[in-house]
Amino acid sequence: MRLAKYLAHAGVASRRAAETLIVAGRVRVDGELVRDPARDVDEQNRVAVDGRELSGAEAPVVYALHKPLGTLSTAHDPGGRPTVVELIPERRRLYPVGRLDADSSGLILLTNDGALANHLTHPRYEVPKTYRVRVTRAPVSERALSALRGGVELEDGPTAPASARRLRGGDELELTIREGRNRQVRRMCEAVGHPVLSLQRIAFGSLRLGALAVGEHRRLGERELEALRAQPTGAQGRGAKL
């Protein structure tokens, strides 16, 4: 296993952050200073970060959480506000996969698997995320749906085409995007004339929120993990059903 991946599995940091630690000269293998993130290591090697020896790489684990409103998508908040990590009693160091705004609820994943987190969040993989959105100025117009499907011009550039459909009642829509810009769904809806009242993520890649209650979590099974790792990316995934 490459050293950066070993550190990520041990819960030290994400793989990208682990690479930075290694290049900065903060990691030793069997007492030797190593600056190459691709250095191969296994459970027989003694790996230390900042002088603290690790007990070994932990088994990857992924949890699905129904994030409540007002909870931050981070491991720690200096201001003492509640975070998603605090909702899962797990001895391993977890970090959220991507972000979900404090004023949004729904499905968020937490893991110690840096490789999987990167696969699910890096822009080049275009993993779909689906939201249920309640908006103002109902009913949602056909013009707005067409604009969302074709791409919306925002201050940081046009969005990629999205999947959008109006739900029963006319004041809600289901929106699937393959990007991860800051508050993107809210900005897209406002740009087409329907500011958001509430927003809930109901799917992330192949995984759906389902009946998971607000504040509850569950550990994903091996089949679910395999499905996430095999999640179609880019153009391959654009026809996938959620």
Mean pLDDT calculated for residue range 174-197:
96
Indicate which residues carry an active-site annotation: 101
Q: Which CATH class is domain 129-204?
A: alpha beta
Nearest by Cα to 140 from 93, 175, 101: 175
What are the angstrom distances between the C-alpha of 171 and each of 32, 73, 134, 193, 196? Answer: 61, 27, 6, 12, 10
Nearest by Cα to 28 from 8, 48, 44: 48
Nearest by Cα to 185 from 134, 138, 123: 134
Dist CA 84 CA 67 (whole Å): 7
Q: pLDDT digit string (tens) for 39-84? A: 998 777 889 999 988 865 567 789 999 999 999 999 888 899 999 9
Q: Same fold for the domain at 3-53 and the one at 129-204?
A: no
User: pTM of the full predicted structure?
Assistant: 0.75
Evaluate whether 136 touches 194 at the Cβ level (below 8 Å).
yes
Listed by start position, the domains of the chain span 3-53, 62-123+206-237, 129-204
Which fold does the domain 62-123+206-237 belong to in CATH? Alpha-Beta Plaits (3.30.70)
In whole numbers, what is the pLDDT of the chain averaged over residues? 89
The CATH label, of 3.10.20.600, 3.40.50.720, 3.20.20.60, 3.10.290.10, for the domain at 3-53 is 3.10.290.10
Residue type, 35: R
Evaluate whether 136 touches 197 at the Cβ level (below 8 Å).
yes
Return the percentage of the chain with pLDDT > 90, whole number: 67
Residue type, 122: H
